[in-house]
Amino acid sequence: MERLLVLVRHGQSEWNLKNLFTGWKDVSLTEKGIIEAKAAGVRMAGEEMQFDLAYTSKLERAQKTLELILDEIGQPDLETIEDEALNERDYGDLVGLNKDDARKKWGDEQVHIWRRSYDIPPPGGESLKDTAARVLPYYLTKILPDVMAGKRVIVAAHGNSLRALVMVLEGLGRDEITGVNLGTGVPLVYRLGDDTRVLEKRILEA
């Protein structure tokens, strides 16, 4: 039984390029983001990866990344489940603001705390702890049972929703996860044992 789980952060988005806080705002991939997603699919195809099921968020940048990957591996019609539980962290009042402008308004230290602390949310938004509180129950009740049943699963989502999954998969503490950064369009490949623990992790970097 393979128990394959692949996590992929979406390719570069229009607001990543503009250095804006994005959160739940629905924005498109840039040309670079499209290239990143296709390249991730090419690397998976090179390893002859195939999937039984896909999960993604309700946001276009993750959905498009998944679509491009599935095209490259020859599975454009793969069953795909979309759920807002996998959406990016909600940045609240920071959404749409340039990160440099936010630092000028609130100061470097405060913006750093909002971005990198585990449990301090920006005004009107979610902390990583809040994000994990919606992502992890979904993982435990939906995604993990599929993987443990032997289905090969790919999840295309966002930096913070995936960090919540990495935290539980790798058994990271709240201080450790705040230092984890996920590259755009870089697949993380996990193989799980029959006790749900990670037996192997690989990063399919370009």
Active-site residue set: 10, 88
Q: What angle do CA 127, 129, 159 make, to 5 degrees?
A: 70
CA–CA separation, 175 vs 21, rounded Å? 22
Q: What is the DSSP letter of 143?
A: I
Helical residues (DSSP H) of the chain, grouped into ranges = 14-17, 31-46, 60-72, 99-106, 108-116, 128-138, 144-148, 159-169, 174-177
Query: Are the beta carbons of 6 and 190 closer than 8 angstroms?
Result: yes
Report the C-alpha gap between 78 and 51 in whole angstroms: 8
d(CA 168, CA 134): 13
Count of residues in the chain:
206
**H or E element, residue 200:** strand 198-203
